[in-house]
A and B are shown apart, each in its own frame.
Chain A
Amino acid sequence: MPTIPFEVFRGSPGQTRFDTFSLDIPEHTPILTALLKIRDEIDPTLTLRYSCRQAICGSCAMRINGKSRLACLTPVGPEFRARGKLRIEPMANQPVLRDLVVDQGPFWQRYHSIRPYLVPDPQHPLPVGKESPMTPEQVAQFQETPRCIACASCYSACPAIASDGDFLGPMALAKLFRFVVDPRDGAFHERLLGVQNQSLWLCLRCNLCVESCPKDVRPAERIHDLKWMANQELGALERGSRHAIKFASNIREGGLLNEMKLARETLGLVGMLGQIPKGIELARHGKSIRKHPPIQGREELDAIYRELDRPEDLQHRPRVPGQGVKGPTQQPSKAGGAA
């Protein structure tokens, strides 16, 4: 292993720089260990959050070559080899305090905003002196979310958080899911109603949270589950859910998407008025949106809908199984990447 130069973000807002520290260390050394070595042996003024060094306290999330990762869980070698450098920056989407330490206030605020505690259900009080009953199906709902260590890697990776302060973010919504599926909780309806505003539907399904989560909580998939539950419980209350529901009925008609009709149904007539200038512009470039002719075998599609678009199928949303446990960090298939 060659000497590895660590390019580390330093300083406070207004006065920032990158310092390069070179270390001779084995490839499998976790990046946290390397940073602590820098602190102990080269520059004691480097500051960062850390504690357990075993991926359970959630303190040491940061950006490593742009990816949001736990430093304790990410070995030096593969990251260095993939990009020929190791650039260490504080998490994104949170104000930097100093060096690798960010202000997590907004992250925690979002967490607290979902009422992260059991709300008693007056209809079904908890049994006195013994545990609450739980079926294996109910227990199975807790497959992923209890693994969350609130490290905020997902929050740092999320492009929706970066662009819209209304979004609750992957962690808070995954936490919400944990309460929504809890049979001991009495606020199922209210909880869904609370996010069936734009927040739930601002998730982009980009799955960056899924890749950055060190505990394989798969937040995007939990958000997807919440969207589905919200549709079932509350119906099409606003644009996001209306779009999802209308999309399904839209393609049933001709097999391909009728873009004009979907826009009308999602946005409403008033919303459509706002689209007129864009429509004219598109038409000028030959991009007019017409209705596709129906596909051949449209009746087959219709048969699928008749068979599967029924309430009993909607009751049943099996999990797409995840890895269970996140293995070693992805090893890029080959060096290079972008220039």
Chain B
Amino acid sequence: MKVAYYPGCVAQESGKELDMATRAVASRLGLELVDFPTFSCCGSGFVDESNLTLNVAINARNLAIAERAGLSTVMTVCSTCQGMLKLAGQVLATTPTIRSRVDATLRGIGYTYSGSATPKHFLQIIVEDLGGAEALRSKVRRPLRGLKVAAFYGCHLLRPHDRMQFDDPEDPHTFEDVIRALGAEPVDYRGRVMCCGFPIQFVKPATAERIAGAQILDAQQHGADAMATPCPLCHISLDTYQREAGRQVGHQLNMPVFHFPQLVGLALGLDPGTLGLARHLVSTQGALAKLGAVAVPA
């Protein structure tokens, strides 16, 4: 399968380990990623707060770029990118006034978007297009046995459901299915569908961190050895700001947080260096030791 790869801003810079892991895992799964240096930022939900039409147009351009290359799937690795690209599709399909403004604008720069290219998150592609959890299981070389992993979905991958059309918006299971296929044990905790706090990290850091802390603590109290997320923004809240989050909820937290492709990559036998695990602020050593996996190079 060949897809247009939409890494989003974070995976191209501060969260480069996500990009590294994605490319390595995709290659193992026989998924061909086509890069487009023309892709722009999705607006991250913030452009939408000031101008919806503009936000839709920016993402219609992104989708049109893939469409022009004959690709029907734009693969995202970020819940928010997925949400914004889906929003564009939904608004164009249901709101003729915006559709005509956007179409005219795109025509002006030589694009058309017919709707044939649609966004899909990497997790969704594994589940829906690459044979699902079973197919993945057959490729596992280093089962994550004994590891209790708390899936953390990230809001925009799931909600609103009428836009995202993926899994159950408040009680999803696909990520847990994948975790089981990798040989690990999923953790059942309410925090998995909650918010990480990232959207207000700049507005009111203490609150954002308290929210992140609540979810990490929830995972910890339900026995998680590690968390895993399909969203690099959640990763920032859960990993980069974990110490601050712990301070807000009055607990010393030490919860390794994997990007979704990193977790898959480990089970596929990729080495921690390739997956960029050393780039995390919270060390993943403890979790890896539990697996008897190779130590992370410092």
Contacts and interface: CB of A to CB of B under 8 A. Distances in A.
Direct contact of A and B (CB under 8 A): yes
Interface of A: 65-67, 82-83, 159-160, 162-164, 198, 201-208, 210-212, 218, 220, 224, 227-228, 231, 239-240, 243-245, 247-248, 251, 255-257, 259, 263, 266-267, 278, 281-282, 285-290, 292, 295-297, 300-301, 303-305, 307-309, 313-314, 316-323, 330, 332-334, 336-339
A251 B161 contact: no
Per CB-CB distance, the 8 closest pairs between chain A and chain B, nearest first, are A207-B159, A338-B188, A247-B46, A244-B49, A206-B195, A206-B155, A257-B9, A255-B40
Contact of B202 (A204, A251, A266, A300): A266
Nearest to A212: B170
A201 B173 CA distance: 31
A144 B13 CA distance: 41
Interface of B: 9, 12-16, 37-41, 43-54, 57-58, 61, 87, 90-91, 94-95, 97-98, 101-102, 104-106, 108-111, 151, 155-156, 159-163, 167-173, 176-177, 185-190, 192-195, 197, 199-200, 202-204, 207, 210-211, 214, 240, 278-281
Contact of A255 (B41, B167, B203): B41
A259 B13 contact: yes
A292 B10 CA distance: 10
Contacts of B44: 247, 257
A248 B13 contact: no
A339 B177 CA distance: 9
B49 A337 contact: no
Contacts of A318: 52, 95, 97-98
B53 A240 contact: no
Nearest to A220: B160
B170 A211 contact: yes
A339 B12 CA distance: 34
Contacts of A203: 199
A246 to B, nearest CB: 9
Contacts of B101: 308, 313
A339 B170 contact: no
Contact of B151 (A163, A202, A245, A338): A338
A321 B95 CA distance: 8
